[in-house]
Amino acid sequence: MRHISVIGTRGQLGHDFTESLSKAGHQVTGLTHQQISIEDPDSISSAFAPAPPDLIINTAAYNKVDLAEKEPELAYAVNALGPRNLALYCSEKNISLMHISSDFVYGLETSRRIPFQEHEAPGPVSAYGLSKLAGEYFVRALCPQHYVIRTCGLYGVAGKTGNGNFVETMLRLGKERDELSIINDQHCTPTATRDLAAALTRLIDTDQFGLYHATCQGQTTWYEFACSIFEMTGISVKTHPITTEQYKAPADRPRFSVLDCSRLTATIGDSMPDWKTSLRFYLESQEEICSK
Ligand SMILES: NC(=O)c1ccc[n+]([C@@H]2O[C@H](COP(=O)([O-])OP(=O)(O)OC[C@H]3O[C@@H](n4cnc5c(N)ncnc54)[C@H](OP(=O)(O)O)[C@@H]3O)[C@@H](O)[C@H]2O)c1
């Protein structure tokens, strides 16, 4: 049993991670945004002063990808300086640190179709992606006992009431509208936070520090993902595949950010479920949102 603190415990991953670690028998302290602000070093020291943990898990982030183009300094403060502050604190106190990063550290290679491995050069195409990459570098440079985890397309139960997610948005729009246009040229792997939390709970037991890609298996596009959501829930809505350019979002996004997770699979001795299996489980476990 270890004493583990989860920062961002009310977020999608933080919520499921807190639950998964407790079930695995660890002593877990969940910290909300009200209890800690990672961009403030004093807030970090006072949050952990009463009982410093063996491991800190940072799931907190500035996740507003489009808004980050207008306020990059805020994204950088939370996503880059936040992990830097945590890495310095952990290194000084001899605490291990797990930091969650993103597939958005990739994107420059637009014609890419082979999943990325951890050793390959990143290349973000947005202020958000750049801030997440800077956060990774700080953790890797400043805290020797680190896990840096790149994941993709997260959805979990806390998204229903918190900051939202793609599945919840599609369920809402699918009921409100007759027709929907959805991007079909961004290739990625939707990942249920419940499955990610379970895999990372096992990783912690290995003490094999380093950089890991961690997503569900397989790949799809946001358009195909949305069609699967509608098919599995029986929602009838006309769907149109469109390009990134047609959608005209303020921030650019990777056309291909599928992550090769074989390093994680080899380390924990198991792979995460296929994205469709995870999606079906998520939808079935919340039957009330499936009835239209
Ligand atoms: N969502 C995705 O599709 C996705 C994809 C790839 C990677 N990721 C990464 O995965 C991680 C978890 O994402 P998620 O979807 O679980 O995020 P989330 O649901 O938005 O949760 C983030 C949590 O962090 C808290 N928080 C925000 N700023 C903070 C700060 N400065 N100090 C302390 N707490 C703060 C938030 O509280 P408030 O809401 O009260 O501010 C929220 O509870 C993040 O690192 C994210 O970058 C996410």
Which tens digits make up the pLDDT trace of 62-111?
A: 999 999 999 999 999 999 999 999 999 999 999 999 999 999 999 999 99
In order of 89, 212, 213, the CA distances from 191 in angstroms are: 30, 15, 12
Q: What local confidence, expressed as pLDDT, does residue 206 receive?
A: 97
Q: What local confidence, expressed as pLDDT, does residue 288 receive?
A: 54
What is the CATH classification number for the domain harbouring 15? 3.40.50.720
Phi, psi (deg, nearest 5) at residue 96: -80, 150
Q: Is residue 23 a part of any domain in this protein? A: yes
Instruction: Please tell me the chain's helix, strand, coil percentages from 3-state DSSP, rounded to the nearest 5.
Output: 45, 20, 35
Q: Is residue 236 a part of any domain in this protein? A: no
Active site residues: 128
List the domain range (segments joined by +) for residue 33: 3-158+191-216+258-273
Rounded mean pLDDT, 275-289? 87
Q: Is residue 79 a part of any domain in this protein? A: yes
DSSP state of 33: T
Q: Is residue 168 a part of any domain in this protein? A: no
Q: Tell me, in angstroms, the distance from the centre of ligand 1 to residue 118's CA.
A: 22
0.75 exceeded by pTM = yes
Tell me, using a 6 A CB cutoff, whether residue 11 lines ligand 1: yes
In the predicted structure, residue 169 carries a pLDDT above the cut 50: yes
Q: What local confidence, expressed as pLDDT, does residue 164 receive?
A: 87
β-strand partners of 188: 220
Tell me, using a 6 A CB cutoff, whether residue 13 lines ligand 1: yes
Rounded mean pLDDT, 21-32? 97
In order of 4, 44, 83, the CA distances from 50 in angstroms are: 13, 11, 21
d(CA 166, CA 282): 13
Contact assessment for residue 245 and residue 184, using Cβ atoms and an 8 Å cutoff:
no
Q: Is residue 268 a part of any domain in this protein? A: yes
d(CA 113, CA 242): 19
Of all protein residues, whose CA lies closest to atom 48 belonging to ligand 1? 154
The model's confidence at residue 175, banded by pLDDT at 50, 70 and 90, is very high
Q: What local confidence, expressed as pLDDT, does residue 143 receive?
A: 98
In the predicted structure, residue 158 carries a pLDDT above the cut 80: yes
Q: Is residue 223 a part of any domain in this protein? A: no
Rounded mean pLDDT, 200-226? 98
Residue type, position 171, single letter: L
Tell me, using a 6 A CB cutoff, whether residue 78 lines ligand 1: yes
The torsion region of residue 218 among left (phi > 0), alpha (psi -120 to 50) and beta comes to left
- Cα dihedral across residues 106, 109, 114, 119: positive or negative: negative
The model's confidence at residue 290, banded by pLDDT at 50, 70 and 90, is very low
Q: Is residue 245 a part of any domain in this protein? A: no
Q: What local confidence, expressed as pLDDT, does residue 77 receive?
A: 98
Q: Is residue 250 a part of any domain in this protein? A: no
Q: Tell me, in angstroms, the distance from the centre of ligand 1 to residue 225's CA.
A: 22
Q: What local confidence, expressed as pLDDT, does residue 159 receive?
A: 86
In the predicted structure, residue 231 carries a pLDDT above the cut 80: yes
In the predicted structure, residue 292 carries a pLDDT above the cut 50: no
Tell me, using a 6 A CB cutoff, whether residue 153 lines ligand 1: yes
Q: Tell me, in angstroms, the distance from the centre of ligand 1 to residue 258's CA.
A: 21
Of all protein residues, whose CA lies closest to atom 46 belonging to ligand 1? 61
Tell me, using a 6 A CB cutoff, whether residue 37 lines ligand 1: yes
Of all protein residues, whose CA lies closest to atom 2 belonging to ligand 1? 154
- Indicate the number of domains in the chain: 1
